[in-house]
Amino acid sequence: MEVKRERLGPAGDGSPSTAGQTSLRVERLNAEQMLRGSAIEGPNQATHLEGTELERYVHERVLTTTLDSAVAWARSNSFFPLAFGLACCAMEQFHAAGPRMDIARFGFEAFRASPRQADLIILAGRVSIKMAPIIRRLYDQMLEPKWAISMGACCSSMGVFNNYALVPSDKFMPIDVHVPGCPPRPEALMHGILKLRKLVQNDPDMGWRERYDAVGTEESPTDV
Amino acid sequence: MPDATGLELLAGELGDATLETVYFRERAMLVVDPAQIRAVLQTLRTKGYAFMASLHGVDHYPEEPRLGVVYELLDMSRVDRITVKARVPLDAPQIESVTEDWPTANHQEREVYDMFGVVFEGHPDLRRILMPEDYEGHPQRRDFPLGGEPVIFTRDEAKWLEHRE
Amino acid sequence: MNPGDGPSLSAYRRQEESIVLAPVEEQLRSDSDEATHELLTLNFGPHHPATHGVLRLLVTLQGEVVRDIKPIVGYVHTGIEKTAEDKAYWKVIPVVERMDYLSYYFNAMAFCGAVETLVEVEVPKRGQYLRVIHLELNRIASHLIWLGTSALDLGAISIFLYCLREREMILDLFEMSSGQRMHTRYFQVGGVIEDIPSGFAKKLREFLKVMPERADEYGAILNSNEIVLQRLRGTCPLDAETLLSLGVTGPLLRAAGNPWDLRKADPYSSYEDFKFKIPVGTVGDNYDRFAVRLAEIYESVRIIEQALDGLPEGPFITEDRKVALPPRHELATSMEALIHHFKLVTEGFRVPPGEAYYPIESPRGELACYVRSDGSSKPARVHMRDPSFVNLQALGPMTTGSYIADMIATTAMLDPILGGIDR
């Protein structure tokens, strides 16, 4: 599958941007107006853009608003992990939630049992072929925005057991962070979770959907 | 463990059911005829070996008969262990189930069926226990491939796919 | 559940006694209309809040009473036994350790014991004592997780954090001796891979001083908690006869009154040198299973103390260079050592053909390893007789006829480890 990315100039045809003259604020307002569908005045008109190109155009110009960054900050500091442990890595996950390497320091101690209430699934352990469709179903039941951490070598990359019975987790669901180790120390798991937190805080749109050009594939309750 | 002479006496009592006796590293093993396995185990139970510690399978590829079922019995009062093995060929992998006399054999026979394909006649519920229900093949046979997959990460997928072409 | 067996009755309890609960069978017999009592099959799917791994239970209920229970396993089947056939003997150890993932030293011990039987190599005394120390530490660690997660299931959430605090101390000790917290590859064929470092004994003694006090704390908290007692006392008993016919060993069998413990009955690895008692229950209900495991923690502490006090000097791994790696300083001076090292690391040692079955006492029961070798450097068959796999068959007879809540408590007291069940 071909993914072509190009920087859009103000005319939308790849020519270098001459937006130096217009102030940033005006540009932002224009872009927002364009999204809303109303006509805009001024020299930088790009009314022929549609769909994903339009969104990309807007994204180039609209810096994350204060509201967006506030929401991203709140989301990143209150992951609700799904209480999901498969094998040995689950023991180290317990230790990450334990008294020494306390996950509650960061605000992530609310392990939810139900996938509908969780937004972070930590695949702790090896994924067998019998379990893979069930994990996929759990992941589908989670509501947007959701993230996935693949903890340990077995689910990231088959680990010690590269054989008929296991499936790497990337094969059936998108993963945001892989944490290596067999099992990874609780500190390593925290490092992985904090990396995810940084990803959500600073660059909320560079999740896998943007990188992989799959924006628009989010499930909404009305789709089903 | 019954010592070597004890093993021979035991084998003599079991008569024609015993195909072979092996005394290796101070452990006794009887290789018996699969058609009489239930009777053999009952006789051993009367001799005191009343606890079945384990029931597992082994593949003797490429020697025939290929599939072996191993029964480990334990006499708790004398702390005595004895192993009983029954070998079945691949084209006729049936053996009588001992679940009625030894309830512990239930899940363990299902595992041997799942992994080796030995069919236990008379088992109350013989279906796969470890692999998915619709899996084809018996993984722990020696000629079943080990399997495995190349691993692609989400962010490398495009690169890997274009590599393939 | 008649609230009549508490020590002293408060006014609330006396008030409760006035409510008469007909026993379940009476209720069902009195109502002859089948249509109002239909059976409901509930799926306790592989993902559920009880922290016991991916165990799936199909429970057939009549009201709140369990009529039939069918465990479905295989959700974490990893093909460990098949992977082990592909690797040299010493490379099988890390693979096999990941089977029953709470008692990793025990898995390694069973496998190493089986291979040592086949290769006919003798483990030196110091190696045996070091093995015993690590095995008993692992037993305590396994019981701590069992206690923590069972208390979590019953609702006593703080016990989970307390148990993890002790387990951190044990994992620090493991990290000190082998460099890894879990799955340490410390046990090798012929002994242990390395001697204990110089701060280990001191840290271990500190731990041994602290552990019985903490275990007293847990006992005090849980034994005087009315809810825990109500949920555990008298629920789901099973007699020793049925357990033996189902092949159950370990704390479950000991809770029912049968004092079978392989450490005493058929001692391996110098267990006969140590004096310790076997906690045995009377009734075989959930409370006995809980009490037996809690008491085993004290006994393990006693064993470790004796092993540490009596730790002999000497080699920690067999001197047979065909089986064990030579010490590194020899590689600089001796040509044979270099050749042995090379052979062992590249191809591994060859094992004479034969079969061996080596049983040991793991925290869950009889764990045994069956190894069949065909003369090459890779095993032809490795099978681990896992206690959880066999013990799971007892869940049905234990829980049929009791309430769902009792089934949850029984699953917790059964201590199933899905890694061992599914291998």
**Chain-chain contact of C164 with A95 (C-beta, under 8 angstroms):** yes
Query: A154: which chain C residues are within 8 Å (Cβ-Cβ)?
Result: 78
How high is the pLDDT of residue A31?
A: 66
**A150-172 residue pLDDT tens:** 999 988 888 888 888 888 888 88
pLDDT band for position C6 (50/70/90)?
very low
Average pLDDT over residues B67-80: 90
Kindly indicate the confidence band of residue A23, based on its pLDDT and cuts at 50, 70 and 90.
low
Exposure of C292 in the CB half-sphere (CA atoms within 13 A):
31
CB neighbourhood size of C14 (10 A): 10
Return the pLDDT at C306: 93
Cβ atoms C77, C379 nearer than 8 A: no
Residue A214: CA atoms inside 13 Å, Cβ hemisphere, count? Answer: 12
Using the beta-carbon criterion (under 8 Å), do B79 and C85 form an inter-chain contact? no
User: DSSP characters for A144-210?
Assistant: SS-EEEEESHHHHH-TT--STTB--GGGTS--SEEE-SSSPPHHHHHHHHHHHHHHHHH-GGGSHHH
Name, in order, each residue with C-beta under 8 angstroms of C363's C-beta and a sequence gap of 6 or more: C102, C103, C106, C138, C139, C142, C143, C146, C250, C251, C293, C296, C415
Nearest to A3 among B131, B148, B158 (CB): B158
How many beta-carbon pairs below 8 A join chains B and C? 93
Angle at A128 between CA A127 and CA A134, to 5 degrees: 75
Inter-chain residue contact C77 with A95, CB threshold 8 Å = no
- What tokens appear for A15 in the block? 């020519």
Say which amino acid occupies C1: M
Interface residues on A facing C, Cβ-Cβ cutoff 8 A = 83-88, 90-92, 94-95, 98-100, 113, 115, 125-126, 128, 130-131, 134, 138, 154, 160-161, 163-166, 182-183, 185
Q: In chain B, count of helices (H) and strands (E)?
A: 4, 7
Task: Name the more confident of C282 and A214.
Answer: C282
Paired with B82 in beta bridges are B73
Tell whether A5 lies on the interface with B, counting CB pairs under 8 A: no
Mean pLDDT of all residues belonging to chain C = 87
How far from B53 is each of A211, B72, C357, CA to CA, in Å?
55, 5, 11
Q: CA dihedral in degrees (C336, C341, C342, C346; nearest 10)?
A: 150
DSSP-assigned beta bridge partners for residue C66 = C61
Amino acid identity of residue C411, one-letter, is: T
Q: Which among B54, B79, B111 has CB closest to C368?
A: B54
Instruction: Judge whether residue A99 has pLDDT over 80.
Output: yes
A-chain CB neighbours of C419 within 8 Å are 87-88
Cβ distance B142 to C246 less than 8 Å, yes or no, reads no
Is the N-terminal amide bond of B65 cis, ω within 30° of 0?
A: yes
The secondary structure of C65-126 as a DSSP string is: EEEEEEEE--TT---HHHHHTTS-HHHHHHHHHTSSTT-HHHHHHHHHHHHHHHHT-PPPHH
Residues of A in contact with B149 (CB under 8 A): 158, 162, 167-168, 171
What confidence score (pLDDT) does residue C70 get? 87
What pLDDT shows up at residue B113?
Answer: 92
Kindly state whether B131 is in contact with chain A, defined as any CB-CB distance less than 8 angstroms.
yes
Read off the pLDDT of residues C85-134 as tens digits, 9 standing for 90 and up. Answer: 888 999 999 999 999 999 999 999 999 999 999 999 999 999 999 999 99
CA distance C175 to C184: 8
* pLDDT per residue as tens digits for the range C185-215: 899 998 998 899 989 999 999 999 999 999 9
Sign for the CA dihedral angle at B133, B134, B140, B145 comes to negative
CB-closest option in C85, C118, C368 to B53: C368
The percentage of residues in chain C with a pLDDT greater than 90, rounded to a whole number, is 48
Question: Does A145 have pLDDT greater than 80?
Answer: yes
- Using the beta-carbon criterion (under 8 Å), do A86 and C54 form an inter-chain contact? yes
In the DSSP assignment, the letter for residue C403 is: B
Cβ separation B149–A130 shorter than 8 A: no
Omega within 30 of 0 (cis) for the link into A183? yes
Interface predicted TM-score (ipTM): 0.89
Structure token pair of residue C386: 């896992």
Which pTM does this prediction carry? Answer: 0.83
Chains that touch A (3 or more CB pairs under 8 A): B, C
Closest CA to C262 of C364, C188, C355, C192: C364
Token couple for A98 = 């334990």
Buried b (16+ CB within 10 A) or exposed e, C45-78: bbbbebbbbbbbbebebeeebbeebebbbbbbbb
Please list every residue in chain B whose beta carbon sits closer than 8 Å to the beta carbon of residue C393: 103-104, 106-107
Q: Within 13 Å and on the Cβ side, how many CA atoms surround C166?
A: 30
